[in-house]
Structure 1
Amino acid sequence: MQITFYKYQGAGNDFVLIDNRNNELKSLDKQTVATLCDRRFGIGGDGLMLLENEAGYDFKMVYYNADGNEGSMCGNGGRCIVAFAKHLGVITDTTKFLATDGTHHAKISAEGNWVSLQMIDVDTINRDGEAYVLNTGSPHYVKLTSDLDVKDVYNDGYAIRNNATYKANGINVNFVEPVRDEEGFFVRTFERGVENETYACGTGVTAVALAMAKHNEQFGSISTPIKVLGGNLNIRFNYDGEKFNNIFLEGPAELVFQGDISVDV
Structure 2
Amino acid sequence: MKINFFKYQGAGNDFILIDHTLSPLKDIDNNWIAQLCDRRFGIGADGLMFLTKHPDFDFEMHYFNADGKLGSMCGNGGRCIVAFAKNLGIIDKETNFLAVDGPHYARISASGDWVELQMIDVDSITNDIDAFVLNTGSPHYVAFQKDLKNFDVFTEGKKIRYNEIYSAKGINVNFVEDMGDHLFVRTYERGVEDETYACGTGVTAVAMAMAKHKSQTGHIKTDIKVLGGDIKIEFDYDGANFTNVFLCGPAKLVFEGQL
TM-score for both structures, normalised by structure 2: 0.99
Distance 2:195 2:45 in 1: 13
Deviations 1:173-221 (A, max 9, x none): 0000011xx4120000000000000000000000000000000000000
Distance 1:26 1:98 in 2: 17
Give the count of matched residue pairs. 259
Which residue does 1:164 correspond to in 2? 164
Which residue does 1:67 correspond to in 2? 67
Note the 1:70-89 alignment, pairs <5 A: 70-89=70-89
Matched AA of 2:67: D
Root-mean-square deviation over aligned CA pairs: 0.7
Distance 1:90 1:35 in 2: 29
Distance 1:217 1:140 in 2: 20
Secondary structure of the 1:53 match is: strand
Deviations 1:33-86 (A, max 9, x none): 100101111111000000000011000000000000000000000000000000
Matched AA of 2:211: A
Q: Give the alignment partner of residue 237 of structure 2, picking from 236, 239, 255.
A: 239
Secondary structure of the 1:211 match is: helix
Matched AA of 1:196: D
Gaps spanning 5+ residues in structure 1: where? none
Note the 1:84-103 alignment, pairs <5 A: 84-103=84-103
Which residue does 1:39 correspond to in 2? 39
TM-score for both structures, normalised by structure 1: 0.97
Distance 2:56 2:31 in 1: 32
Deviations 1:3-35 (A, max 9, x none): 000000000000000000012653321100100
Which residue does 2:217 correspond to in 1? 219
Secondary structure of the 2:57 match is: coil
Q: Give the alignment partner of residue 197 of structure 2, picking from 196, 199, 209.
A: 199
Distance 1:23 1:160 in 2: 40
Gaps spanning 5+ residues in structure 2: where? none
% same residue: 64
Note the 1:41-60 alignment, pairs <5 A: 41-60=41-60
Matched, 1:248 2:246: yes
Which residue does 1:10 correspond to in 2? 10
Distance 2:11 2:97 in 1: 22
Secondary structure of the 1:2 match is: coil
